Amino acid sequence: MPRELKGRELLASEKRRIMVSLLQEDGRMSLTELGKALGISHVAAKKHLNKLLSSGLLKVRACLSPRELDARLLVVLCEVEHDRLVELLDMFSRCPRVVFLSTLIGPYNLMAVMVAEDPGLVKIMSLGACCIRRVEGIRRSELYVVDEVFYPDALPIRVVPRKEAEGTPCGLVCGSCDFYARGECPACPATRWYRGVL
């Protein structure tokens, strides 16, 4: 039985590197188009693609353009208490506004890139109830509002099709929030209170 190839080994194939490059330009290319571009049959293209997908190296997903949504991005750097880090990573990974989440080595040990799909959200996410920096266990933080994104042109901004939850993934209830009551915040996209585009 042949051993499973690891991600680095899978990219050692020139055809697979070209395939990934083509899919990065157009994730909807058909197997026939991929095969023609690679000089192989669509059946061979499917085998290469299946290996990349089954290994976990390649993911195909829909991303949205922050520019077309007229959304702003916020970068948050946090120093999180060690015993709370795993819990906060889990909580923030469920937040529909988080598009990138990682741990860091250095003075800050957590970084989140978040999307503010409504102009008023920048203030609320930096100072208000939904401020990631106010979460218990965060010792200090820095927040940057992104001016203009040059690359990539699309991000994994989540769309929650069924708005059924009463509370947010971080434990807030938007219906009892003053910002929401005054119409300054569209609420969390994961909740039944949401009045925004996502």
Contact 195, 186 (CB under 8 A): yes
**Where are any strands of DSSP class E within the chain?**
72-80, 98-103, 110-116, 138-145
Q: Specify the pLDDT at position 10.
A: 81
The alpha-helical segments, DSSP class H, found in 108-177 are: 121-127
Supply the mean pLDDT for the chain.
90
What's the average model confidence in pLDDT over 52-69?
Answer: 92
State which H helix or E strand residue 9 sits in: helix 7-10
Given pLDDT bands bounded at 50, 70 and 90, which one contains residue 1? very low
Note whether 114 and 145 are within 8 A (CB).
no
Residues in contact with 189: Cβ distance below 8 Å, sequence separation at least 6, in sequence order: 96, 97, 117, 158, 159, 160, 163, 196, 198
| Residue 3: predicted pLDDT | 57
Contacts of 14 (CB under 8 A, 6+ apart): none
pTM of the shown model: 0.87
Which pLDDT value is given to residue 12? 78
Q: What is the mean pLDDT of residues 118-136?
A: 84
Look at residue 4 in the predicted model and tell me its pLDDT: 63
Beta-sheet pairing, 110-116 with 72-80 = antiparallel
Instruction: Please give the residue that has the higher pLDDT: either 7 or 77.
Output: 77
- Give the range among 58-62, 67-71, 131-135, 180-184 with minimum mean pLDDT: 131-135
